[in-house]
């Protein structure tokens, strides 16, 4: 890891103070009320799980910015006999997002205290655009790292290396919060400090974890 930064070991250790907090979105900052399956069941009924198994697999390249998801989703909806067009289904399901107010407020508080506050999320371009323009993500974060824009998907090391480059920080200066353990382990492998946390654990638990890393809010 030190090969990426022209410091001696002593200089690197001197930069161990957390100066930035990097948040995941789904499961940390936002929720899908009732879950994805509940959102899709009115259109597909018992075939909902089968549908998601197929379409989420199709979506994976789009998370890395490879291709256009909507035409592919439209074809899958037609295959499953869904009468409503993709222009109706996509916002009804993929834009069904509820902000987790406690995490959002925490991010605002950290930014007010002088920490760099950033976003690291796996999203294809259309859902990301909704998050940015409608939900206000661009206003909340200093640096926003969307997988479709970076061209790599968490937990790929390339995602975290590019996030660090954009933030302009050493790995040990960044605390990453994610609800997926694989992503947390991927961040740690690159040298970031990372915590595995979901909003179901409660925000007192998150505050305790931040405090353990010297981050007060």
pLDDT at 6: 53
DSSP 3-state assignment of 144? Answer: strand
pLDDT at 14: 46
Of residues 40, 75, 37, 73, the one with CA closest to residue 55: 73
Q: Residue 205: which residues within 8 A CB-CB, separation 6 or more?
A: 197
Per-residue model confidence as pLDDT tens digits over 116-136: 999 999 999 999 999 999 999
Distance of CA 120 to the CA centre of its chain: 5
pLDDT at 145: 98
Average pLDDT for consecutive 10-residue bins of the chain (217 residues)? 47 68 98 95 94 91 96 95 96 97 98 97 98 97 98 98 98 98 98 98 97 90
Whether cis (ω within 30° of 0) applies to the bond prior to 50 is no
Whether cis (ω within 30° of 0) applies to the bond prior to 155 is yes
8 Å CB contact between 121 and 25 = yes
Q: How far is the C-alpha of 193 from the C-alpha of 48, rounded, in Å? A: 37
Q: How far is the C-alpha of 118 from the C-alpha of 104, rounded, in Å? A: 12
Q: Taking the model in full, what pTM does it have?
A: 0.90
pLDDT at 13: 44
What string of DSSP letters covers 72-84?
Answer: HHHHHHHHTT--S
The phi-psi region of residue 132 (left if phi > 0; otherwise alpha if psi is between -120 and 50; otherwise beta) is alpha
Block residue for tokens 């993500």: 137
8 Å CB contact between 96 and 32 = yes
- Decide the pairing of beta strands 20-23 and 116-121: parallel
Which H helix or E strand runs over 98? strand 98-99
8 Å CB contact between 123 and 147 = yes
Q: How far is the C-alpha of 74 from the C-alpha of 121, rounded, in Å? A: 24
Q: Residue 206: which residues within 8 A CB-CB, separation 6 or more?
A: 103, 106, 177, 195, 197
């Amino acid at each position: 890891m030190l090969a990426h930064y022209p410091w001696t070991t002593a200089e690197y250790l001197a930069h161990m103070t957390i100066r930035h907090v990097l948040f995941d979105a789904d499961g940390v900052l936002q929720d899908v009320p009732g879950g994805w399956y509940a959102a899709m069941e009115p259109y597909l009924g018992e075939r909902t799980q089968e549908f998601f198994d197929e379409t989420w697999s199709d979506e994976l390249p789009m998370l890395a910015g490879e291709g256009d998801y909507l035409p592919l989703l439209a074809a899958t909806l037609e295959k499953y006999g869904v009468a409503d067009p993709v222009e109706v289904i996509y916002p009804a399901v993929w834009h069904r997002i509820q902000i987790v107010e406690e995490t959002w407020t925490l991010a605002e508080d950290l930014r007010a205290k002088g920490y760099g506050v950033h976003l690291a999320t796996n999203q294809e371009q259309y859902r990301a655009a909704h998050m940015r323009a409608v939900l206000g993500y661009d206003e909340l974060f200093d640096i926003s790292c969307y997988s479709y824009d970076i061209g790599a998907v968490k937990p790929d090391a390339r995602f975290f290396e590019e996030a660090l480059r954009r933030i302009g920080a050493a790995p040990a200066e960044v605390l990453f919060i994610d609800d997926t353990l694989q992503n947390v382990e991927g961040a740690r492998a690159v040298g970031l400090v990372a915590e595995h946390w979901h909003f179901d654990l409660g925000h007192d638990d998150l505050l305790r974890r931040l405090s353990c890393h010297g981050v007060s809010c």
